[in-house]
Amino acid sequence: MKKRCVAIVLSAGQGKRMGTSIQKQYIELCGKPIICYCLEAFEKSEIIDDVIMVAGAGQEDYVTEEIVNKYHFGKVRAVIPGGKERYDSVWNGLKAIRDGMAGEEAKEGYVYIHDGARPFVDEQIIKRGYACVKANRACVAGVPSKDTVKIVDENQFAVNTPVRKYVWIVQTPQVFETELITQAYKSLMEHDRENVTDDAMVVEQEMQIPVKLYEGSYCNIKITTPEDLDTAKGFIEHIKS
Ligand SMILES: Nc1ccn([C@@H]2O[C@H](COP(=O)(O)OP(=O)(O)OP(=O)(O)O)[C@@H](O)[C@H]2O)c(=O)n1
Ligand SMILES: C[C@](O)(CO)[C@H](O)COP(=O)(O)O
For the CA of 117, the closest atom of ligand 1 is 24
- pLDDT above 90 (res 194): no
- Give the chain's domain count: 1
Q: How confident is the model at residue 16 (pLDDT cuts 50, 70, 90)?
A: very high
Q: What is the mean pLDDT of the chain?
A: 97
* Residue range 189-210: mean pLDDT, rounded: 93
- pLDDT above 90 (res 96): yes
Residue 205, in any domain of the structure: yes
* Residue range 37-61: mean pLDDT, rounded: 98
The predicted pLDDT at position 239 comes to: 81
Residue 106, in any domain of the structure: yes
Residue 16, in any domain of the structure: yes
Separation of 1 CA from ligand 1 center, angstroms? 34
**Can you give the residue range of the structural domain that contains 120?**
5-234
The shares of helix, strand and coil residues in the chain, as percent rounded to the nearest 5, are: 40, 25, 40
* Residue range 138-147: mean pLDDT, rounded: 98
Report whether 115 contacts 210 (CB < 8 A): no
Q: How far is CA 117 from CA 57, 107, 223, in A?
A: 17, 26, 5
For the CA of 222, the closest atom of ligand 2 is 3
Q: Which of 137, 149, 146, 120 is nearest to 210 (CA)?
A: 137
Residue 148, in any domain of the structure: yes
* Residue range 234-239: mean pLDDT, rounded: 90
Residue 72, in any domain of the structure: yes
* Residue range 66-85: mean pLDDT, rounded: 98
Cβ of 52 less than 6 Å from ligand 1: no
Cβ of 89 less than 6 Å from ligand 1: yes
Residue 92, in any domain of the structure: yes
* Residue of 24, 86, 202 best suited for mutating to test ligand 2, as the one with most atoms within 8 Å of CB: 86
Q: Is the pTM of this model over 0.80?
A: yes
Residue spans of alpha helices (H) in 24-121: 34-44, 60-63, 86-98
- pLDDT above 90 (res 240): no
Separation of 24 CA from ligand 1 center, angstroms? 9
DSSP state of 122: -
% of the chain surpassing 90 pLDDT: 96
* Residue range 26-49: mean pLDDT, rounded: 98
- pLDDT above 90 (res 89): yes
- pLDDT above 90 (res 193): no
Residue 239, in any domain of the structure: no
The predicted pLDDT at position 92 comes to: 98
Tell me which residue has its CA closest to atom 25 in ligand 1.
13
CA terminus-to-terminus distance, the chain: 38
Cα angle, residue 199 at apex, residues 236 and 44 outer, rounded to 5°: 40
Q: How confident is the model at residue 179 (pLDDT cuts 50, 70, 90)?
A: very high
For the CA of 23, the closest atom of ligand 1 is 17
* Residue of 14, 88, 94 best suited for mutating to test ligand 1, as the one with most atoms within 8 Å of CB: 14
- pLDDT above 90 (res 241): no
Report whether 107 contacts 97 (CB < 8 A): yes
Tell me which residue has its CA closest to atom 1 in ligand 2.
198
Separation of 14 CA from ligand 1 center, angstroms? 6
Domain containing 82 — which CATH number? 3.90.550.10
Cβ of 115 less than 6 Å from ligand 2: yes
Provide φ and ψ at 175, rounded to 5°: -120, 135
Give the C-alpha separation, 97 to 3, whole Å.
15
- pLDDT above 90 (res 10): yes
Cβ of 117 less than 6 Å from ligand 1: yes
What ipTM does this complex have? 0.98
